[in-house]
């Protein structure tokens, strides 16, 4: 257990920070696959894949079922939606701030030599 509460985004971004895991996620977007099928394109050992899958599962990016001795993996898109929304929201805030700055500069072009960085009241 970690002392500080682990943000949900921490584990999702960290999971996607690895190229192997992103590749697995991308692969699972095309449909369910077993561990061996997922491992096939990569030059690394099966235990390494197994741990990557555990990381993805822990991040909520995949879920695993049971089919005999196989453990098929499925993509769970919710975290993808969340991080896309976060990135988009942050970008939108940035753009909105630029708009406000632009409007401010437009207004104060006559007199009122205000500082270049307008603080929000």
Q: Given the rule CB under 8 A, which residues bind a second copy?
A: 7, 9-10, 13-14, 16-19, 22, 25-26, 28-32, 75, 77, 80-81, 83-84, 87-88, 90-91, 93-95, 97, 101, 117, 120
Q: Find the binding residues for DNA in span 64-83 (CB under 7 A).
A: 64, 66, 68-72
Closer CB to DNA, 49 or 61, in the complex: 49
Cβ–Cβ under 8 Å, residues 85 and 49: no
Stretch 25-64: interaction string toward DNA, x if CB under 7 A: ---------xxxx-----xxxxxxxxxxxxx--------x
How many residues are listed for the chain in this entry?
121
DSSP class of residue 2? -
For 73, counting Cβ atoms within 10 Å of its Cβ (0-12 exposed, 13-18 middle, 19+ buried), the class is buried
DSSP class of residue 33? B
């Amino acid at each position: 257990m970690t002392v500080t509460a682990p943000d949900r985004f921490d584990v999702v971004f960290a999971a996607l920070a690895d190229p192997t895991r992103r590749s697995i996620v991308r692969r699972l977007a095309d449909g369910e696959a077993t561990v061996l099928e997922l491992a096939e394109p990569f030059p690394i050992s099966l235990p390494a894949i197994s741990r990557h899958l555990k990381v993805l599962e822990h991040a909520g990016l995949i879920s695993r079922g049971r089919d005999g001795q196989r453990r098929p993996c499925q993509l769970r898109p919710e975290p993808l939606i969340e991080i896309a929304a976060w990135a988009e929201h942050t970008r939108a805030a940035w753009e909105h701030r630029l708009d406000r700055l632009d409007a401010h500069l437009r207004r104060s072009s006559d007199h009122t030599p205000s500082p270049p960085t307008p603080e929000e009241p």
